[in-house]
Structure 1
Amino acid sequence: MNERGVALSAGDTSRSRETVPLTPDTGPAWLQPLVDNIDNVPGAYRRRVPADVLAMITAANAQATLVGAKRDAAVLVLFCGPRTGVVSGAPPDDADLLVTVRASTLRHHAGQAAFPGGAADPGDDGPVATALREAREETGIDTDRLQVLATLDKMFIPPSGFHVVPVLAYSPDPGPVQVVDEAETAVVARVPLRAFINPDNRLMVFRSENTSRFAGPAFLLNEMLVWGFTGQVISAMLDVAGWNEPWDTTNIVELDDAMALVGSDGNRR
């Protein structure tokens, strides 16, 4: 899942419909600041979206509701790392986040970095079940190794009409992950959390074809450019968890130019 999205109103009932149990107290101490402040992620997300863009997304959501074009979806936001041996609230150096790059041939969000996830199936028992099923199908991960900590509010992504629920999970050892179907996924990677925190890897990205020229937070890594919905969610999580380090928000790059930098040498770690 990628592209711009926005959290829906507080009246959304996606969490109350969830039947898969959540265990917010089972994560490690270093992840607890994020779990404790998970309800603040949508606000941190919206702070970086201009009012006119928020209005556009809200209008698109209303129109999709009117014509029945909305689709439920979920993504897995999986943090991995040691449970003990680190200072409370400070992520360990070997903590990581599971990220994929979608195949370039896909209809929606081709070639974009994303959390594993996708559209809900009729047999899914809520968004947690959707996120876990999609993660298994895309990365081969053993979901029995994961502890589901929390869910975020639904976010609407206008280009695809998806209503996406990010599902926060943790595992001290998730086992091997890999590309399962090359027709759907090009890269599966456990990206070190320090790579997202590193100010040298951060920039703002905009799409030249968008008249609003809205620039959102992005992360330029060795194998991928993480931007759009995924970049905004990660940026918001760093903010509310207190992991964010000062970075140059005036470094604004057009999307194609930023994509051309993927894999190039530089300060990225």
Structure 2
Amino acid sequence: MYDDGTTGLDVTTDGLPEWLMPVARAALGVAPEQLSRFLPPKSGGGRQSAVLILFGEGERGPELLLMERAGSLRSHPGQPSFPGGALDPEDGDPATTGPLRAALREAEEETGLDPSGVQLFAVLPALYIPVSGFVVTPVLGWWRRPTPVAAVDPAETARVFTVPVAELTDPDHRVSALHPSGYVGPAFLVASTLVWGFTAGLIDRILHFAGFEVPWDRSKEVPLDWRA
């Protein structure tokens, strides 16, 4: 498990590759309203959680780490997502370093990555997922020293995979997801799956504010299964 041995965690842009700096700069000034229309309840309710948005550089260039939830799960079965989950008491204060520890801990538990090879470089404003009641803090990381990853528990995770940023920005891979509830949002047809919902929304906003976005046809819709 990750333990930095201090009372806090370093969040620094030192040594980031130049291509990742636009993401770091965008994260500094983005407001929660610019990321989602669903914001944490003013009452302070909701279950505190965190996700790790981990950028790396592989054989296909800059890439993003994702995972696919097991199809047997009650919540969001089979849906691609970032590694992450609810804060545990030992993660610490949700208002300070708790989300940082939770994001790294959950990523290690779900994908087997070595947290010591991850450099945290930014934290986005907390957002809300109404359907599950989670208050989610997105934590951005640079995979400075990559290690092998795979689904640690098949009952929780179907697979772990990376997607090149070039594929995420390619207009041919971009669609609008149409949910039976009437929800329409950005989605990505990559890695033999459809990335949609909260995860796709964050990717979409990061690409946009970092200046990576390429114009795409938002009228191209893909209907979601009624169980999604």
| CA drift at 1:110 | 1.2
Q: Hey, what does 2:12 align to over in structure 1?
A: 23
1:25-40 map, 5 Å: 25-38=14-27, 39-40=29-30
Which has the larger strand fraction?
Answer: 2
Q: Hey, what does 1:49 align to over in structure 2?
A: none
2:211 counterpart of 1:242: yes
Q: Once the two structures are aligned, what percentage of the paired residues are identical? A: 42
Rounded to whole Å, the distance in 2 between the matches of 1:31 and 1:200 is: 23
2:144 counterpart of 1:167: no
Q: Hey, what does 1:4 align to over in structure 2?
A: none
Which has the larger helix fraction?
Answer: 1
Counterpart pick for 1:206 among 133, 156, 178? 178
Rounded to whole Å, the distance in 1 between the matches of 2:205 and 2:174 is: 13
Rounded to whole Å, the distance in 1 between the matches of 2:157 and 2:189 is: 19
2:115 counterpart of 1:143: yes
Deviations 1:203-251 (A, max 9, x none): 001211x1xx231000012332110000000000100111111110111
Rounded to whole Å, the distance in 2 between the matches of 1:140 and 1:24 is: 24
| CA drift at 1:93 | 4.9
- Calculate the TM-score normalised by the size of structure 2: 0.87
Check the 8 A contact 1:99/1:189 in 2, yes or no.
yes
The unaligned stretches of length 5 or more in structure 1 are 1-17, 47-53, 83-91, 260-269
Deviates more, 1:35-44 or 1:242-251: 35-44
Q: Hey, what does 2:4 align to over in structure 1?
A: none
Letter in 1 for 2:13: P
Rounded to whole Å, the distance in 2 between the matches of 1:241 and 1:177 is: 27
The unaligned stretches of length 5 or more in structure 2 are 1-6, 93-97
User: Rg: which structure is higher?
Assistant: 1
Shift >6 Å, 4+ stretches: none
Rounded to whole Å, the distance in 2 between the matches of 1:147 and 1:227 is: 26
Counterpart pick for 1:230 among 199, 208, 223? 199
Q: Hey, what does 2:154 align to over in structure 1?
A: 182
Letter in 2 for 1:61: P
| CA drift at 1:102 | 0.5
Rounded to whole Å, the distance in 2 between the matches of 1:198 and 1:220 is: 10
Counterpart pick for 1:116 among 80, 83, 95? 83
Deviations 1:179-201 (A, max 9, x none): 10000000100111111111100
2:224 counterpart of 1:252: no
Letter in 2 for 1:23: T
2:37 counterpart of 1:61: no
2:51 counterpart of 1:75: yes
| CA drift at 1:41 | 6.5
Rounded to whole Å, the distance in 2 between the matches of 1:240 and 1:40 is: 8
